[in-house]
Structure 1
């Protein structure tokens, strides 16, 4: 069994998004991989779950992504008393017109930060399910479309911290990727400690692309050609998760589609027109890991994904 090096070279970002990548790296120091994975997630039109201790830069990363991509942005602090109506909206009686008027909640935006999502009750967490999957909200007998594009970046604290509630499997499955920020390397942390406040620097972030450009990049990423070898490799990864005795349940077909879309976006971001097995290997732990649960022993999502990668050979 060989150990795979998942922290691959992350400097190879295609020219169209180099300014975006560079500006984010100037703000979020020493997190090149996490930034590139975040961009990959958005290019694949997916939602992102950031998990780590408080104070690790999760909120700064999400806010800077919204600003640099030129998207409307709302932030909701999830607490145990947050109600679905606080998130989705509700009809309010207007005395002047003697009628009810629907007031949109903060979910009606292009970029929603669900901060500390696992501090809310499961009922409030579930209020996001339809919005994340179908990009719409059904309330009071009416279906209201959400702005396009629509992204959710949620942060969550480690499960062992006080006041947290685990996300249901159906909620976790709505997130294309789950990544951890981790502590910065020494040089980056010294620069942060000695430099200007990240909040002040955030105010200087400029919008570098518009919505039309973002949608065009997403279409280009989706058109990356997937070879039969890469598709066969993806299938074998799915099958191993289902047939092995390591996990309570295997990866679903929807998880397979999520993997395909994320791998295409990573390939496009690196300037490739063809999807290769190495692209699938790079994103696999961050797309598949949180969808798997070990039968015995607790492991991190990345470790879940790495176990499968180490066991499944690339078809020849």
Structure 2
């Protein structure tokens, strides 16, 4: 466990990062927090929102604020797995094959509109995200550290999209949903981005060694046994809500997995670190739970018929479970 004074000393190192990113992204503090939680916990983040809400700009801006190698892949229906991870090239002179690395060999990888490509291409990222390695032919190659996938997607209701496979979705630690900005924020966007010169260059605000130091500090945030038990209750209540006195029978087809419990623990610790606290409270759990669980719950047709969403079911669990 890191001493609270150390947490208070290290947390201000993120302030230049916040200032740099917020100089481009207006009114998106929750989005920035979500991306930082992914960075601090070595987890991948899925961003969802309708077109035109600056999902790609957000990822580009975060990558610019980091002194790390960045790569972007535009997912399209005709994309091939080799376009993501790389391929083998035959050399007729020597008769050998050489490996040409794909864009996945970077520290920060933007998978733009990931649900525009078929499942076989989406799955090309699966080994990379889960194992931090890729296999090309007979060669298994390690990916650089840190390795962070930020994927954007449009809602499934939009034409020309493909639902992500369950295994792929579960590899994302967080799913952050971007909504329309407030009226005041949208006016500020017009003032800042309404001209022809809309690109804003920002210098790197966080070095790789600083990020690693912050990761270790966030990982060492203290979690009391009662708070861990509360996290487990939240997870188990999504599986068997009746056991916790919740009237949600038949609404959840598949509850959160053990991997979700691990992700909730790590995200809650990172959230506590972001507010400069050396220990996790139930409020940290409540703040992290929606982004951790919304893409891991499989709701029933009955819930869909009642126009319920995973977020609303998670909120019911958080509102009704007793807090330690």
Q: Give me the TM-score of the superposition, normalised by structure 2.
A: 0.89
Change in 2 beyond 3 A, CA 1:164/1:187: same
Find 2:216's aligned residue among 196, 213, 219: 219
Q: Which of the residues 307, 311, 314 maps onto 2:320?
A: 311
Moved more, 245-254 or 46-55: 245-254
Aligned partner of residue 128 in structure 1, secondary structure = helix
1:152 partner SS: strand
1:197 CA drift (Å): 5.9
- Aligned residue in 1 for 2:256: 251
Q: Compared with structure 1, are the counterparts of its residues 37 and 134 closer, same or farther at alpha carbon in structure 2 (3 Å cutoff)?
A: same
Match of 1:84 in 2: 81
The answer on whether the counterparts of 1:292 and 1:304 sit within 8 Å (CA) in structure 2 is no
Q: Any residues of structure 2 matched to 1:107-256 within 5 Å, and which?
A: 107-196=104-193, 202-244=199-241, 245=249, 246-256=251-261
Where 2:72 maps in the other structure, the secondary structure is strand
Q: Deviations over 1:16-61 (max 9, x none)?
A: 1011112212211011111112111211111010101111010011
Kindly provide the CA deviation profile for residues 113-168 of structure 1, in whole angstroms up to 9, marking residues without a partner as x: 00010010011111111110111002212211001000000000111111100011
Aligned equivalents of 1:197 and 1:238: distance in 2?
A: 45
Determine if the alignment matches structure 1 residue 75 to structure 2 residue 72. Answer: yes
- The answer as to whether partners of 1:109 and 1:150 remain within 8 angstroms in 2 is yes
Unaligned runs of 5+ in 1: 1-12
> Which blocks of at least 5 consecutive residues in structure 2 are unaligned?
1-9, 242-248
What is the aligned counterpart of 1:302 among 300, 307, 311? Answer: 311
Give the length in aligned residue pairs: 303
Q: Which residue of 1 aligns with 2:6?
A: none
1:133–1:80 CA distance, 2 compared to 1 (3 A): same
CA apart distance, 1:300? 3.4
The SS at the match of 1:27 is coil
Aligned CA-pair RMSD: 1.7
What CA distance in whole angstroms lies between the structure 1 residues aligned with 2:267 and 2:49?
22
- Taking structure 1 as reference, are residues 253 and 193 closer, same or farther at Cα in structure 2, changes over 3 Å only? same
Are 1:59 and 2:56 matched, yes or no?
Answer: yes
CA apart distance, 1:196: 3.8
Identify the match of residue 14 of structure 1 among 6, 11, 16.
11
Query: 2:4 aligns to what?
Result: none
Matched position secondary structure for 1:19: helix
How much does 1:173 deviate?
Answer: 0.4
Match of 1:293 in 2: 298
